[in-house]
Chain A
Amino acid sequence: MGSKVEAVDVNKQIKHMMAFIEQEANEKVEEIDAKAEEEFNIEKGRLVHQQRIKIQEYYDKRLKQVNLQKKIQNSNLQNQARLKVLKAREDHVYGVVEEARRRLGQITSDPQRYGPVLQALIVQGLFQLLEPVVTVRCRQADLSLVQSILDSAVRQYKEATKGMNVQIKIDDTFLPANVCGGVEMHTKGNRIKIVNTLESRLDLLAGQMLPEIRTSLFGRNMNRKFDD
């Protein structure tokens, strides 16, 4: 009858269906696995790439900073060195002026040279004042020398002014002893005063002579563009 054959049929069918179910499941699992791998790689790659860029930027920045620091340090070093050299230069220049100041008084021990100097200083003052009565103040030590040249001074003045007269009075207050030499002159009761001491001359001259001093000591500055 049919039941034996049907039984075998049914078994076969069931076996087929079971195989089918299993196969479908396997295929689905394969799909899922493949997708999983793909997503794994993508995600890992994305994260690594992202961070790599950040790290790179970070270290690039730090490297730039380090290099900048280096440049700044170098520049500072150079600056300090230049300033040191410049300061030494100026110290030398003023040292020379100071030494000149110390030797200022030397001439006063030689009346032959000092006399004309005093006369010239007085005449210079007279030319500036152009007054009829002038008081001259000198050092006590120079008193006699000054007295001896007064006449010539007045003569010089007269010649230059085509005959103007001047009365020179010598002040009985003297210049203090720490003055190296020279005179002060005043008129109109101390209202107009001329300081013509050796020190004041040196101060004026030194200021004007600084370029010349520098050139004599160090040679001409090749970097300098303007000399007037």
Chain B
Amino acid sequence: MTRTSDGISSLLAAEKKAVEKIEDAKKNKVRRLKAAKEQADREIEGLQREQEAEFRKVQSAHSGSKDAMVQRVDGETEARLKSMESDVATHREQIIARILSMVYEITPKMHENARFEQQEQPPPPKHVQYGHQEEEPEDQEEDQEEEE
């Protein structure tokens, strides 16, 4: 009888060992899944750093070019202003003279719709300055026909 029980205990032992092996494998599986996340995280971090570095490069390149642009635009503006000054200096006197001549040149014109009929000719009235006494008596003012 001991031989049979030997046999059975060997079998039981083998069964136990098998079950343990399988349990281990399952635990391993769980560990592997966890490791997947950790490794993924590390890889992602690396990617992020790469992109950030790329981005910073572009940014600093950009700020460098901005200064260059400011200088360029300023230079162009200065040039334009200078050329304007010289243009003005050349023509200034001429245009001032022209303005003044237009101020002094006056051509009185009657309104284009005004209509007049030939008047009789009463004597022209005297010119009077207020506060000054004229010797002659004032002429009577005649009513005048006016047509407009």
A residues in contact (CB < 8 Å) with B: 7, 10-11, 14, 17-18, 21-22, 24-26, 28-29, 32-33, 35-37, 39-41, 43-44, 47-48, 51-52, 55-56, 58-59, 62-63, 66, 69-70, 73-74, 77-78, 81, 84-85, 88-89, 92, 96-97, 99-100, 103-104, 106-107, 113, 117, 120-121, 123-124, 126-128, 130, 132-133, 147, 150, 154, 156, 158, 160-172, 198, 201-202, 205-206, 209, 212-213, 216-219
Contacts and interface: CB of A to CB of B under 8 A. Distances in A.
A140 B42 CA distance: 98
8 contacts: A35-B29, A39-B32, A74-B69, A81-B77, A96-B88, A209-B99, A213-B99, A216-B98
Given A127-B110, A165-B119, 18 more contacts: A10-B7, A14-B11, A36-B29, A39-B32, A52-B44, A66-B58, A85-B81, A96-B99, A120-B107, A121-B106, A127-B108, A161-B119, A163-B116, A165-B144, A166-B125, A202-B99, A217-B92, A217-B95
A32 B3 CA distance: 36
Of the four ranges (under 10, 10 to 19, 20 to 34, 35 or more), the interface on chain B belongs to: 35 or more
A47 B96 contact: no
Interface in B1-47: 3-4, 7, 10-11, 14-15, 17-19, 21-22, 24-26, 28-29, 32-33, 35-37, 39-41, 43-44, 47
